[in-house]
Amino acid sequence: MSSADLVLILRYRKAVTYGHHVLLAALEEHPTDTRYEVVFAESAAATVEAIKAAHGAGKVLVLWSFYSPDAAALAEELAAIKEQAPGAVHVAGGVHATAEPVRTLDAGWDIAAVGEGESTLLNLVDQAGDPTGIQGLVYRDEQGTLHRTGKAHREPLGTYRAFPVTYKRMNPIEITRGCVYACAY
């Protein structure tokens, strides 16, 4: 059992590790009163075990990032994980969640993070996983009402390192992020 207020489980897949690294780099530089723990889950089975191990801790957020071609397969994985280990809140980020947030929710995720994720994650951690009032999210409340909280606050590219020192996960050097022409997918 963890003594953390919040457990962040990263559904850590080789195809999308760099986005997780950027979020963790921002988080390790961010002062917060929330006690949190980070777990890297490199498979569906590891994700289930991490959720079960966090039982009794505070809120559990499973952070996902994926591209649209992976969405259907990961929705199936998500359904199996939720069946085996209920109780966690599953947050989807990345290109697909940004382009199709309602479809992402319809596929089973609890929250879709839209746009740049650094400020969104930092606010989620500060609020111990409560999405209320945090910009950059789309979610449904207990009554099923859809909430769109607007665009996430976007920091200049150099605000945070591209990799977290604490977790020793390295990224290539970023010179730009996303499409400079504001393309939509």
Question: If we measure between CA atoms, which residue out of 155, 152, 159, 154 comes closest to residue 134?
Answer: 152
Is residue 131 scored above 70 in pLDDT? yes
Judged on CB neighbours under 10 Å (0-12, 13-18, 19+), 139 is: buried
Dihedral sign of CA atoms 9, 3, 131, 85 in order: positive
- How far apart CA 124 and CA 130 sit, in angstroms, is 6
Q: Which long-range contacts (CB under 8 A, 24 or more apart) does 75-78 make?
A: 75/107, 75/108, 77/44, 78/107, 78/108, 78/109
More confident residue, 25 or 45: 45
User: Of 51-55, 116-120, 138-142, 175-179, which range is least confident?
Assistant: 175-179
pLDDT over threshold 80, residue 140: yes
- Residue in 6, 10, 91 with CA at minimum distance from that of residue 46: 10
The pLDDT value given to residue 98: 93
Global pTM reads 0.88
User: Is residue 185 very low, low, confident or very high in pLDDT (cuts 50, 70, 90)?
Assistant: very low
pLDDT at 74 exceeding the cut of 70: yes
Domain 6-159 has CATH 3.40.50.280: yes
Q: Taking a C-beta distance cutoff of 8 angstroms, is the pair 130, 93 a contact?
A: no
Please, what is the angle between helix 71-84 and helix 44-53, to 10°?
40
Percent of the chain with pLDDT over 70: 86
What pLDDT is attached to residue 1? 46
Cα–Cα distance measured from residue 106 to residue 104, given in angstroms and rounded to the nearest whole number: 5
